[in-house]
Chains A and B, each alone.
Chain A
Amino acid sequence: MDFLGNCPQYIANGLANGCIYILVAMGFNIVFNSTGIINFAQGEFCMFGGLLAYTLAASLGLPLPLAIPLALASTAIIGAAMERLLVYPLRRAGALVAIIATIGASIFFKSLGRVLWPKEAYKVPEFTAGNISLPGATVSRQFLWVFGLTILSVTAVYLFFNHTKAGKAMRACSVNRFAASLVGINVMRMSLYSFVLAAALGGLAGLINAPYASYSMGLFLGVKGFTSAVVGGLGNTFGAVTGGIVLGLLEELIPGFLTVVLGVSTGYKDAVAAILLIAVLLLRPQGILGRGVVEKV
C-alpha cells in the first residue's frame, strides 16, 4: 500500500503544521478568555513575527539569538498598542463591536505589511538549516525547533494560567468579568496582558514557520488557528493542542488518501479545515474538549 508507506511523511508534515496551528490557536484562546472577543488580527501577529524576524536577521544582519527576541518583543508591543488604541476604547461597546474592530485591524495590519514588505515572500533564516532522514520520512531540522518550542509554550501558558497570580486573575476574568472586577482584579489590565501574550505567541508561530514569510500569510494562519481553537474547544489550552494536531494531521492525511488511493486530487486542502469546523460546530459546538456553556434564559 503506497498510502501506508507515505503515512510517516504525512504524519511528520501534519505534526509540523499542527504545532504552528497550536500556537495561533492559543493566541485566540487567551484573548477570548480575558476579554470575551475573538481577535481576527491574530494571524497578522504571525505576519509581523515572521517579517520582523526577516528584517532584523536577514536585512540588518543581527544574530538570530538577538533578532528573534527582538521580533517577538516588537510583535508584543504591536499587540499592546492594538489593545490600548482599539479594544480599550471599545470596552463598553460590547463584544461584537470589538470583534468587528479586530477585522478592521487585521485589514490595516495586512496593508501595512504590504507597504513595508511589498514582495511576494521573504526568506526568514532557519534556526538550523538542513534535514533529518527518518525511516519513511524526511523532516527539516527546523521541525525540531518547532516541536520543542511549541511544547515549551504550551507548558508555559499552562503554568501561567494555573500557578501565577496574573494567570489566575485572567482566568477569573474569563469566568465572570464583573465578579472579577468586584474582587479587585483590574479587568482592563488583564485585557492588555492577554493581547501582549497572544501577539507574542502569534509572532513566534510566524517566525518559526520559516523559511518563508509574506504579508499575505496572516489570513491563512489565522483561519487555521481559529479552526483549531474552535475544534478543540474555544478558550481551552489543551483544546488548542488537540485542535491543532487534529487539523494538522487531517489536512495532510485526507488529501494524501484521496490522491494516492482514490486518484482524485481536488487541490483544495483548505476544505479540510472548513469541513472540520462545520462538522464540529454542528455536532459538538463546545469543541472536542469543551465543557459546554450553560446559558441563563
Chain B
Amino acid sequence: MSGKKIVVAVLLAGVLLASMLAQMGCGQKESGSKEPIKIGVVLSESGANEPLGKPERNAIKLFVKRLNEAGGIDGHEVEVIIKDDQSDANKAKQAMVELLEQDNPVAVIGSSGTGTTIAMKQEAEKAGIPQVCMAAGANIMDGDITWIFRTPPTATEAGRKALSYIAEVLKVKRVALLYDTNPFGSDGKAVVEREAPEYGLEVVVSEGYQTEESEEGMDTHLTNAMTANPEVVLVWGTNPGPAKIVKRMRDKGIKLPYVGSHGIANQAFIELAGEAANGVVFPAGKMLIYQKIMEPGSEEYEFIKDFADAYFEEYGENINTFAGHGWDAILIITEALKRAGVGATPEELRDAIESTKGLVGTAGVFNYSPTDHNGLTPDDLTMVEIVNGKWEPAKE
C-alpha cells in the first residue's frame, strides 16, 4: 500500500512541477520579447528536387537562427514555418493555402523547382503577399510579376555569359548547340538562339537530346552536329547528359572547345566525365571558386566566407549553390523588412524588396527594379574551367 502511495505522490509532484514550469515559460515569453515575424517557407525537402530543397532549408534555418541570436529585427524574433512540397505542384499549392490560412506570414519563400514555384505564385498573387523563389525556370516570370522575386541566376544570365566567352575569349563564330529537351535545356536553347546574334555568333546546328540516352545515342547527336562544321560545342543540360557527350567527344578525337551550362557546376559532373572533364568551361556563380577570384577583405569575399564557415560549423558540410539560393532568399526578405519596418503591410514589404539595390548575396549583387525581378546580371557569373579535375578561373 505504501509503495502505491509513494508513486501517486511522485506523479502528483511531477504534474505540479511541470505545470509550474510551463507557466514560467509562458510568462517569460510574454514579458521578454515582442511578437515574432512570421515568414512562410515551402520547399522540396523530398522527391525529385530533394538535392535542392535540403540545403536550401538548412541555409534558411541557420540564417534565422543567427539573426535571432543577434537580436532579430528591432527586437522581434523571425519565425520561419517550413513546409515540404515533396517536389509536387499540388502539394506546394496546398502548403501555401495552409500557410496563408493558419500562420498569416508577412512573406513566403519558395519553392525549389519551377513547377512548384508556379503553383505557389498563383496563391501568392491571390493573397497579395511577396514571394521569393529559388527556382530558375524562365516561365516563372511569365505574366504578372508583381509579387514574385527570385534569387538564382537564370538561363538568360548564364547563356549571355557563355556566349560572350565564346565570342570574346575563344574568338570563334560557329556554335553547335546540344541541349537537353527537359525544361532546363529548353530554357537554355531559347536564350542561346535568341542572344547569339547579339554576340556576332551563329548557331549552325541545335540538337535536342534526352539525358537518359546511351553514349551511342549521344554519339549520333554529335555526328549530326559535326556535319555543320562548328568551331565550338555548347551543351546545355543537367547531369548525366553533358558528361556522356564530353566523354564521347574526346573518345572520338573531336578537339573542339566544349562550353557547358551552369547545370554542370557540381562535383557530380567531374566524377561522371572523368578525364574528359578537363578543359570543359562553364558559367557559374562566383561562389563556386570565390577563394580564387575574390580579394580577401572585399565585401563579397567576406560575405561568402562568413556563410561558408557558419554552414560548415552547423552542418559539417560545405556550402553549395542551392544553400546559397536559400541564404539569399531569406537575406533579401529580412533586409527589406529592416528598411520597411516591422509593421509593414505586404504591399510595403513588396515595394521594399523591389527597391533592393546593391545587396551583396551569395549569387552576386542583387538589384531589383519594377521591370526586373531576377536581380542578377551576367557579370554576377564567372567562367570556370576544369583543370586536372579541379575548378579554376577560365582565362578571360
The 10 closest A-B pairs by CB, nearest first: A267-B208, A121-B240, A13-B216, A220-B212, A259-B224, A16-B216, A120-B239, A252-B220, A2-B227, A138-B252
Closest chain-A Cβ to B252's Cβ sits at a distance in Å of 5
Contact check, A17 vs B217: say whether CB atoms are below 8 A apart: yes
User: How far is B240's CA from A211's CA once the two chains are assembled, in angstroms?
Assistant: 11
Proximity string of chain A (125-155) to chain B, C-beta cutoff 8 Å, 1 when within and 0 when not: 0000001000000101001000000000000
User: How far is B238's CA from A120's CA once the two chains are assembled, in angstroms?
Assistant: 9
Q: Give the A-B pair count, Cβ closer than 8 A.
A: 97
A75 within 8 A of partner (CB): no
Interface residues of B in 13-33 (CB under 8 A from A): none
Contact check, A20 vs B243: say whether CB atoms are below 8 A apart: no
User: How far is B253's CA from A164's CA once the two chains are assembled, in angstroms?
Assistant: 48
A193 within 8 A of partner (CB): no
Contact A211:B213 (CB < 8 A) given known A120-B240, A265-B205: no
- Give the residue name and chain of the B residue nearest to A7 (CB): B223
Contact check, B268 vs A17: say whether CB atoms are below 8 A apart: no
Closest chain-B Cβ to A261's Cβ sits at a distance in Å of 10
Closest chain-A Cβ to B255's Cβ sits at a distance in Å of 14
A256 within 8 A of partner (CB): yes
Q: Which residues of B contact A259 (CB under 8 A)?
A: 205, 207, 224, 227
B272 within 8 A of partner (CB): yes
A269 within 8 A of partner (CB): yes
- Give the residue name and chain of the A residue nearest to B47 (CB): A114
Interface residues of A in 217-263 (CB under 8 A from B): 217, 220, 251-252, 255-256, 259-260
User: How far is B219's CA from A14's CA once the two chains are assembled, in angstroms?
Assistant: 10
Contact A9:B271 (CB < 8 A) given known A118-B50, A138-B251, A212-B240: no
Contact check, A265 vs B206: say whether CB atoms are below 8 A apart: yes
Contact A121:B243 (CB < 8 A) given known A9-B223, A255-B224, A259-B205: yes
- Give the residue name and chain of the B residue nearest to A8 (CB): B223
Closest chain-B Cβ to A46's Cβ sits at a distance in Å of 11
Q: Which residues of B contact A6 (CB under 8 A)?
A: 223-224, 227
User: How far is B207's CA from A214's CA once the two chains are assembled, in angstroms?
Assistant: 23
User: How far is B51's CA from A119's CA once the two chains are assembled, in angstroms?
Assistant: 9
A123 within 8 A of partner (CB): yes
A106 within 8 A of partner (CB): no
User: How far is B220's CA from A24's CA once the two chains are assembled, in angstroms?
Assistant: 22
Contact check, A265 vs B212: say whether CB atoms are below 8 A apart: no
User: How far is B142's CA from A135's CA once the two chains are assembled, in angstroms?
Assistant: 50
- Give the residue name and chain of the A residue nearest to B253 (CB): A138
Closest chain-A Cβ to B116's Cβ sits at a distance in Å of 18
Closest chain-B Cβ to A137's Cβ sits at a distance in Å of 9
Q: How large is the interface on A (under 10, 10 to 19, 20 to 34, 35 or more residues)?
A: 35 or more
Contact check, A9 vs B220: say whether CB atoms are below 8 A apart: yes
A59 within 8 A of partner (CB): no
User: How far is B225's CA from A2's CA once the two chains are assembled, in angstroms?
Assistant: 11
Q: Which residues of A contact B221 (CB under 8 A)?
A: 255
Q: Which residues of A contact B268 (CB under 8 A)?
A: 119-121
Q: Which residues of A contact B214 (CB under 8 A)?
A: 16-17, 20, 209, 212
| A-B contacts, 29 listed (Cβ < 8 Å) | A6-B224, A9-B219, A9-B223, A10-B220, A17-B214, A17-B216, A20-B214, A118-B51, A120-B238, A121-B239, A121-B243, A131-B252, A138-B251, A138-B253, A212-B243, A212-B244, A216-B212, A217-B212, A220-B210, A252-B216, A255-B224, A256-B220, A256-B224, A259-B227, A265-B206, A265-B224, A267-B179, A267-B207, A270-B210
Contact check, A140 vs B217: say whether CB atoms are below 8 A apart: no
Which one, B217, B238, B251, B274, contacts A13 given CB within 8 A?
B217
Closest chain-A Cβ to B235's Cβ sits at a distance in Å of 13
Interface residues of A in 73-120 (CB under 8 A from B): 118-120
- Give the residue name and chain of the B residue nearest to A257 (CB): B224
Closest chain-A Cβ to B217's Cβ sits at a distance in Å of 6
- Give the residue name and chain of the A residue nearest to B219 (CB): A13
Contact check, A212 vs B272: say whether CB atoms are below 8 A apart: yes
A12 within 8 A of partner (CB): yes
Closest chain-B Cβ to A220's Cβ sits at a distance in Å of 4
B392 within 8 A of partner (CB): no
Interface residues of A in 1-38 (CB under 8 A from B): 2-3, 6, 9-10, 12-14, 16-17, 20
Interface residues of A in 181-223 (CB under 8 A from B): 209, 211-212, 214, 216-217, 220
